[in-house]
Amino acid sequence: FLYGKFILNDRLKILKNIAILISGTGSNMEAIINDTLSNDHPGVVKFVLSNRSDALGLLKAKKLGIKTFVFPVNRTNSLENFEKKLLKLLIKEKIDLLCLAGFMKVLSKKFLINFRGNVLNIHPSILPSLKGLNTHKRILEKKSITHGATVHKVIPELDSGKILGQTTIKISKGDTHDKLAKKLIKKERYLYIKVIRNIMTGKNKIIQID
Ligand code: GAR
């Protein structure tokens, strides 16, 4: 089955090519890869790239048989250089869809203009509320009763592109930011794979998972 899927992709270009950027655990990444392995999925993950060599997700991707790359971003390796190498790879692998999954760098406008495919991100808040970092902590400070996550298109303005899907969780008494993160991540994964299937099959209905 799988073999057939990859042959079709290489010879006839029936499947769409996905690449995933990570910086850490990679549980969204793992869910996306696993979903693409099912025979009815319109896409295939061609590679996973991390800006950190210690990202746990790299090991998970390798175990699932996916090619991995590390392009470090630090004092000696600029984000500009990272983006140049990434763009080359995206073109070489004919990537249609780039998914950010816990990727903790902000891609530049120049990169987003140069890459012609779609770029998606998952953000742990109900956007447009709580853009940026530390969303679990910040939602507790707001004494809100609902938290959630959003999958959106990536544009140069941080966490501001078109919303493609959202999921929510209830905040209970005694929830800490760790507890919230654990509750939310399960629903994030479910949301992200649904949105990817949706966008790849040309459906533009916004997905809502409560
Ligand atoms: C997820 O909660 C994702 O929403 C968040 O990082 C976590 C990654 O988990 N992303 C951001 O905060 C992006 N600004 P994972 O590595 O297990 O998928």
Helix, strand, coil share (%) of the chain residues, nearest 5: 40, 25, 40
Position 15 scores a pLDDT of: 84
Buried-state track 138-174, b at ≥16 Cβ within 10 A, e below 16? bbbeeeeeebbbbbbebeeeebebebbbbbbbebeee
Buried-state track 34-73, b at ≥16 Cβ within 10 A, e below 16? ebbbeeebbbbbbbbbbbbeebbbbebbeeeebebeebeb
Q: Tell me which residue of 3, 55, 10 sits closest to 29, measured CA to CA.
A: 55
Question: Ligand 1 test: best mutation among 185, 186, 196, most atoms within 8 Å of CB?
Answer: 185
Distance 182 CA to ligand 1 centre (A): 11
- Catalytic site residues? 123
- Its pTM stands at 0.94
Percent of the chain past pLDDT 90, that is, above it, reads: 90
Q: How far is the CA of 69 from the CAs of 52, 59, 113, 199, in angstroms? A: 10, 11, 23, 25
For ligand 1, residues with CB inside 6 Å are 22, 24-29, 57, 101-102, 122-124, 149, 185, 188
Q: How many alpha carbons lie under 13 Å from residue 4 in its C-beta half-sphere?
A: 5
Position 204 scores a pLDDT of: 79
Distance 138 CA to ligand 1 centre (A): 15
pLDDT under 50: residue ranges of the chain: 1, 10-13
